[in-house]
Amino acid sequence: MAKALLTLISKEVKELLRDPKILLGIIVMPLILFPAMGSAIRVSQRSVSRAVRRMAIAVYNEDGGPASQELIAFLSKDNEVSIIEAENLDEALRRFMEVDSSILLYIPDGYSEKMASGERCMLRLYAHLRRLNMAETGKASSVEQLLMIYGEECSLKRIRRILEEAGEELQPEAVRRPISISYASIMRGVVLDIPPQAIFGVIMSQNLMLPVMIMMMNVFAIQMAATSIALEKEQKTLETLMTLPVGRMTILAGKLCGSILIAIAGAISYMIGFSYYMKSTLGFIPQLTMETLREAGFRLSPLGLALLGAVIFLTLLLSLASSLSIAVFAEDVRSAQSLVGLIYIPMMIPFIILMFTDVDMLPGGLRWLMLIIPYTHAVIASKAIFLDRYIPVLTAVTYMTIFTLTILHITTRIFSTERIITARIRRWRIGRRGD
C-alpha cells in the first residue's frame, strides 16, 4: 500500500511538474512576475522621492517685504528656489511655464504688512502638471507641508511675543495646542502603549496575508487536482490506471498527495514572490510596533500553530476532494478547469467579505449562508487563532472536518463506481458558431 502510494505520488508529481503550463504558470511565474512588479514600483517610488527631496521651487514675490524675504530664505535652505522677475502675475505664470520647476509660489502684495500686523495671509501655489505623474503632485504637497511648518513657527513666535508682552509665563506650544493625546490599546487584557491604528495595521497585514496565502494555495490545489484527473482522461490513461492492482482509495490518495505537493510548491513560490512585492511596495509597519507586540506575547502559541496547520490542511483537503469529484465528470483538462471554477465562488466570497468584516456583523440571511460555506470557517478560525479564541477555532475545525469527510466520502464513491470512466461533460462553449 505504502509503496504503491509512493509510486503513484511520484508519477503524479513528475507528470504535473513536467507540464510546461504548470511549471511556468504556477512555480516559475510568481517568482518572476511579483519581484518584477515590486522592483518596478520601487524604482518609480525612489524616483519620486528623489524628485521631492530637493525641489525646484519658483517664487514670484509681488510683496518684496522683509517677511517674504524671510519665507524665501526658509524655503532656500533645502530646495532650489528661483525667483521669477515679472511685472504682474500673468507674466510670472508665463515665465514659470518656461522654466524647469513644476511649482510656483505666489507671494501677493501686502504679505509682509499682514504678517507684521498679525493678520491671516493667503499664499498661492501653482502646480504645473506637465507629465501628470506622482512626482509632480508629490512636490505640490511637499511645498504645502513646508509652508505649514513655516506657518507653525511663525505662529509660535507670535504667541511667544504676545506672552512676553503680557508678562505671562506660559508655554507657547501649550497655548497653541492645549490638548495633546497619547494612545494606548488594550488587547487580550494587556495594556500596550501602541495606538490602535498601528495594531490594526499589524493585524490587518496578518488578516490579509494569511487568507490570501490560504486562498492562493487552494486555487493552486484545485487546479492541480482537476488537471491531474483530467489529464488521465485526456491522455486516455485512466482506464489502464483503474485496472492496475492498486486500490481505488490509494489512487485517490496518490492524486490528493501529488496535488498537495505541487500546490504547496506553488504557494511557496507565490508567497516568496508576493512577500518580495509587499516589501518593495509597503513595509509601512514600524519595527517598534512589531517588537512591542511580540514582547507582549502576541505570537502564535504551539496550540495555535497546530490548529492553524489543521485548518489549512482541512481547507486544502476539502478543495482537493471537491475538485477531484467535480473534475471526474470532465472530458479533458480545459473542461475540468472550467468546471472547477464552480468551487471558486463559495471559496472567494468568504475570503473577500471576511477580510473587511466579521460574520456576526452581517445581516441574518447572509450570515447563515456564509456559515454554511466551509471556507468561511477557515477564515474565522485563522482570525480567532491570533486572538487566542480557541472555541470558535475548534467549532470551525469540527465543522470543516465533517464537511471534508462528507466530500471525501462522495469522491471515494465516485472513484469506486464506473462513473469515473463513463462521466463526460464537455467544456461549455461560449460564443456563436462562425464567430
Partner 1 sequence: MRAVEVEGLIKRFGDFEALRGCSFNVEEGEVFGLIGPNGAGKTTTLRIIATLLKPTGGVAKVFGLDVERRADEVRQVISYLPEEAGAYRNLSGEEYLRFIASLYSEDVEEMVEEGGRISGLGERLRDRVKTYSRGMVRRLLLAGALMVSPRLAILDEPTSGLDVIYAYEVRRLIKDYAEERGTTILLSSHNMLEVEYLCDRVALIDGGVIIEEGSPGELKESYGAENLEEVFMEATGRG
Nearer to partner 1, 26 or 396 (CB): 26
Binding residues for partner 1 restricted to 237-266, rule: CB under 8 A:
237, 239-240, 242-247
Binding mask 383-422 for partner 1 (x = CB under 8 A): ----------------------------------xx--xx
Site size toward partner 1 (CB under 8 A) is 24
Nearer to partner 1, 1 or 361 (CB): 1
Should residue 4 be labelled a site residue for partner 1 when binding is judged by CB under 8 A? yes
**Window of 63-71, 230-238, 262-270, 282-290 that interacts with partner 1 by CB under 8 A:** 230-238
Task: Find the shortest distance in angstroms from Cβ 236 to partner 1.
Answer: 4
Should residue 7 be labelled a site residue for partner 1 when binding is judged by CB under 8 A? yes
Task: Find the shortest distance in angstroms from Cβ 242 to partner 1.
Answer: 6
Nearer to partner 1, 8 or 314 (CB): 8
User: In angstroms, how far is CA 131 from the centroid of its own chain?
Assistant: 28
Nearer to partner 1, 27 or 37 (CB): 27
Buried b / exposed e over 57-87, threshold 16 CB at 10 Å, is bbbbbebebebbeebbebbeeebebbebebe
Q: Are 33 and 282 a contacting pair, CB within 8 Å?
A: no
Should residue 236 be labelled a site residue for partner 1 when binding is judged by CB under 8 A? yes
Q: Is the dihedral of CA 155, 158, 164, 166 positive or negative?
A: negative
Task: Find the shortest distance in angstroms from Cβ 331 to partner 1.
Answer: 13
Should residue 2 be labelled a site residue for partner 1 when binding is judged by CB under 8 A? no
Closest by CA to 356, choosing from 199, 207, 196, 198, is: 207
**Window of 145-153, 172-180, 232-240, 270-278 that interacts with partner 1 by CB under 8 A:** 232-240
Binding residues for partner 1 restricted to 8-27, rule: CB under 8 A:
10-11, 14-15, 18-19
Should residue 120 be labelled a site residue for partner 1 when binding is judged by CB under 8 A? no
Should residue 424 be labelled a site residue for partner 1 when binding is judged by CB under 8 A? no
Member of 155, 235, 301, 398 binding partner 1 (CB under 8 A) = 235
Question: How far apart are alpha carbons 409 and 64 in whole angstroms?
Answer: 86
* Residue ranges that bind partner 1, judged by CB under 8 A: 3-4, 7, 10-11, 14-15, 18-19, 235-237, 239-240, 242-247, 417-418, 421-422
